[in-house]
A and B are shown apart, each in its own frame.
Chain A
Amino acid sequence: MINEALALSAALFAIGVVGVLTRRNALIVFMCVELMLNAVNLAFVAFSKLHGMGGQVFVIFVMTVAAAEAAVGLAIVIALFRHRQTVDLDDIGLLRG
């Protein structure tokens, strides 16, 4: 089942990348990043079958980082919405050259 789990992980990661690149709604882009983190977690759990518990410990760390990222990222989205009344990433190009 390891190979299948790794394949599913790669597919989910690919879907997440496509979502990040093709969507403009900042919230959906954030959710796609969460999907990519989930794909990585699946790979970690699959490898923990082969190499011991370290992989599962790393999943816990990834989840912690994901929670912190969601908190800060959503705060940024709220701050942006307050200034611009939009979450469309194409309208937010202040740092674009």
Chain B
Amino acid sequence: MRPEYPLFYSFHFYLFGLIALASAILFVTRRSPVAAAMWLVNVMFSLAALYVMMDAHFIGAIQVLVYAGAIMVVFLFVVMLLNLGHADAVTDQRSGGVRLTAAAVALVLLSELAVLTNPDWLPVLPQPIGNPPPAEGGAVAVIADPLFREYLLAFELTSVLILVAIVGAVVLGRRTNA
């Protein structure tokens, strides 16, 4: 059986979920890149709230700091650098066949949603582990332990990825006068 959640919890879960959904829809329909970026930040904030409600406190904090803070600021920085902020007659929404394809793909993905919301069609999932007891090191230690033990190799490879990204960004971004 599905575990019961207090009404307070469910209400806020649905509230933030609906905010995320509405902001996402507004995000893809805005013409101005700046307005779109602001709605995307709103999506990310509501997702951070959902992460905290699902006992992923550290992920929620990182979501606000890295995603809403750093990555979106880089996007806005590029928008301003290229002076693209004004939506001057941008009809950048495609038309015709591409729209039809998009609708078809959306339909396929939304049917997945329909399956997910119908518990009878789903395989029986293991019961939630429930609230883990507060770890000694707090919210960070819970993640740091597997990150630096089980996933140490992946963590080290990530540093190579970041190095490649830095070098790539510098090479692509510099002026080629030669």
The residue of chain A having its C-beta at the shortest distance from the C-beta of B125 within the complex is A50
Complex contacts, A57 vs chain B, CB 8 Å? 143, 146-147, 150-151
* Assembly CA distance A24 to B62 (angstroms): 30
Q: B interface, by DSSP: helix, strand, loop or mixed? A: helix
On chain B, the number of residues with a Cβ less than 8 Å from chain A's Cβ atoms is 84
Complex contacts, A42 vs chain B, CB 8 Å? 47, 50-51
A13-B109, A25-B92 known; 17 other A-B pairs, CB under 8 Å? A1-B5, A2-B128, A4-B13, A8-B17, A10-B112, A24-B92, A27-B79, A41-B63, A45-B51, A46-B54, A49-B129, A53-B146, A56-B58, A56-B142, A60-B143, A63-B63, A66-B71
Is B137 located at the chain interface by the 8 A CB criterion? no
The reply to whether B56 and A59 contact each other, CB–CB distance below 8 Å, is yes
* Assembly CA distance A43 to B28 (angstroms): 21
The reply to whether A14 and B109 contact each other, CB–CB distance below 8 Å, is yes
Complex contacts, B164 vs chain A, CB 8 Å? 68
Q: A interface, by DSSP: helix, strand, loop or mixed? A: helix
On chain A, the number of residues with a Cβ less than 8 Å from chain B's Cβ atoms is 68
The 8 Å CB contact of A35, one of B27, B106, B172, is B27
| B37-57 Cβ-contact flags toward A at 8 Å (1 or 0) | 100100110010011011110
Give residues 1-60 of A contacting B (CB, 8 Å): 1-8, 10-19, 21-25, 27-28, 30-32, 34-35, 38, 41-42, 45-46, 48-54, 56-57, 59-60
Q: Known interface pairs A35-B40, A41-B47. Does A75 touch B168 (Cβ–Cβ under 8 Å)?
A: yes
Which A residues lie at the B interface, using CB under 8 A?
A: 1-8, 10-19, 21-25, 27-28, 30-32, 34-35, 38, 41-42, 45-46, 48-54, 56-57, 59-61, 63-72, 74-79, 81-82, 87-88, 90
